[in-house]
Structures are given as structure tokens and as C-alpha cells.
Amino acid sequence: MDLQLNGKAALVTGASRGIGLAVVRALVAEGVRVVAAARTPTTELKATGATLVAVDLSDPASPERLATEAVTELGGIDILVNNVGGGDGGLSGGFLDTTDAQWAEVVDLNFFATVRVTRAALPALLATRGAIVNVSSVGARVPHSGPIAYTTAKAALTAFGKALAEEFGPRGVRVNTVSPGPVRTAMWESPTGYGAELAASMGIPHADLLAGLPSATGMLIGRLIEPAEVAALVTYLTSPRAAATTGTDHLIDGGSVKTA
């Protein structure tokens, strides 16, 4: 299917690896001109051919600079994919183990960074009647599936997308959310990530936790989700083919959420 994206201009945050890297690859493959933002651009990201911007979006001043650089490089912005997030390391404990500093760090990265980037990019998106996709998490709907600060921030992000769609839909900007279940990313697979910490807290090998994760979370596909599968959904939602789709939250969770 031709997604009618050739020649469009996109800004993607959190682009260095995992879902963000897969989104950049998918958009570039559709002929999109991409500015890819990452704290530390990787060799894999450089290989995509996207224009790279090294930026730390936990710095409140950075989103404005990023949006300005994207508009200068691309001549405008048709697509914004807010994928920046993480900061889940060290959060395998419960509510009483999570400090104010950890709450502030996680909420800032997973929620406020997207708020700031979106605010900075919206004038350009209004000019092109563009599309925004925010990458949230199934944890926003099933909070026990991740660290409490992380899932709370993602729930705020999902609500933010709904509210943004209501305000700016009449002005031509579509806003949708994608909420993945467990994806084969560093969050789960890295030896220093949340998955490894969770396995250690449970007293089981990291490999055993990953092997049992699909069944433990109620997934029906018997495996973790691939980043490219999430990227395919994100790419469709940014395209003119999804022109009637806005204000939605799309689960890509292997069937783990059982409610309608």
C-alpha cells in the first residue's frame, strides 16, 4: 500500500534505538525526510540517512531549539513522532521505594519532554495540517505492568494526546497515541535495564524472565513485540491513509489487555 508519505517532513524524538530507530527507518523507507533527535545518536541511526540532532530533551530549553532546527532543515514539519521516554532503571521497587527525585525524573522525560516538544512544533504542524503520534505504553491502561512512576507518566501522556486532538483537530492537526506491550527493546533486554532489575528482584535469571514474559502478561502471540511492528502502526497513523483517525489510543500488545 502506498502510504502517500513520499516527500513529507518528520521530526522523531527518542530515535537512537528501539521503537524510535524503527520509526525512523520506516519513515525513511516511505520517502519521508526525517530529523531524528536523540541524546546520543548511534551508528545504526546514522545509517538511516536521517538528519541527526543530538539533544537532551530533559533540558527544558532543548525542545524549542530542536523544533527550530527541524523547521530550518526540512522547511516545515508534517509529522511529529514523540517517542522520547524511558528512565525506568532503578525503579523495580514499589511506590514506597520511589523517591521524589525519581518521580520528577521519570515524569519529566516521559511526559513533560513531549509536552515541550509538541508546544514548540505545533506552529509548524498547524501550517501543514500535520499529524502527531505519541508513543505511550500498555502500562497506562494496566498500571501493574511497569514501574509506578513510569506507568503514571504514560497515563498522563495518553490523556494529553486525547486533549490535544480535541483542541487542534478542528484546525487540521491529527493526534493519535500508540500503546505497545512488552517490546524487544533495552527496557526489557538490556542487562542494566528494568527487565534485568525486575528479574534480580524476583531471584530468577534475566533470560527466564524474558522467556516467561509473554504468558505472564497475558499475551496471545507467545513472544515479545518487535520494534518494527510498532513502527509500522506509527507510520500508518502519520499518513494520509489515516486521515479520518484522530484522538485514538491504539494498543499493540499481543492481546494482553482483555477489555474492549
* 122 has pLDDT over 80: yes
- On whether residue 212 sits in a domain, the answer given is no
Phi-psi sector, 245: left (phi>0), alpha (psi -120 to 50), beta: beta
Q: What share of the chain is helix, strand, coil (3-state, %, to 5)?
A: 50, 15, 35
Domain span including residue 45: 9-182+226-248
- On whether residue 243 sits in a domain, the answer given is yes
Give me the phi and psi of 254, to 5 degrees please.
65, 20
* 236 included as an active-site residue: no
pLDDT, tens digit (0-9, with 9 covering 90-100), for 60-71: 999 999 999 999
Q: Residue range 198-213: average pLDDT?
A: 92
- On whether residue 260 sits in a domain, the answer given is no
Burial of 222 (0-12, 13-18, 19+ CB in 10 A): exposed
- On whether residue 191 sits in a domain, the answer given is no
* 260 has pLDDT over 80: no
What is the spatial distance between Cα 69 and Cα 165, in angstroms, rounded to a whole number?
A: 25
Based on the structure, what is the number of domains in the chain?
A: 1
- On whether residue 196 sits in a domain, the answer given is no
- On whether residue 210 sits in a domain, the answer given is no
Burial of 185 (0-12, 13-18, 19+ CB in 10 A): buried
Alpha helices in the chain (DSSP H): 18-29, 43-46, 62-74, 100-107, 113-128, 148-168, 186-189, 194-202, 206-216, 227-238
* 104 has pLDDT over 80: yes
- On whether residue 24 sits in a domain, the answer given is yes
The three cell numbers of residue 79 are 509529522
Burial 190-202 (b: 16+ CB within 10 A, else e): eeebbbbbbbeee
* 113 has pLDDT over 90: yes
Q: Residue range 195-199: average pLDDT?
A: 88
Indicate which residue of 10, 33, 136, 150 is catalytic.
Answer: 150
**Which pLDDT score, from 0 to 100, does residue 145 have?**
63
- On whether residue 211 sits in a domain, the answer given is no
Burial of 178 (0-12, 13-18, 19+ CB in 10 A): buried
pTM: 0.95
DSSP code of 40?
A: S
List the beta bridge partners of residue 82.
134
The number of beta carbons lying within 10 Å of the beta carbon of residue 237 is 23
Looking at residue 165, which CATH number applies to its domain?
3.40.50.720
pLDDT band for position 91 (cuts 50, 70, 90): confident
* 232 has pLDDT over 70: yes
* 73 has pLDDT over 90: yes
pLDDT, tens digit (0-9, with 9 covering 90-100), for 146-192: 789 999 999 999 999 999 999 999 999 999 999 999 999 988 999 98
Q: Residue range 89-108: average pLDDT?
A: 87
The per-residue pLDDT of the chain, averaged, comes to 94
Q: What angle do CA 90, 40, 224 make, to 5 degrees?
A: 55
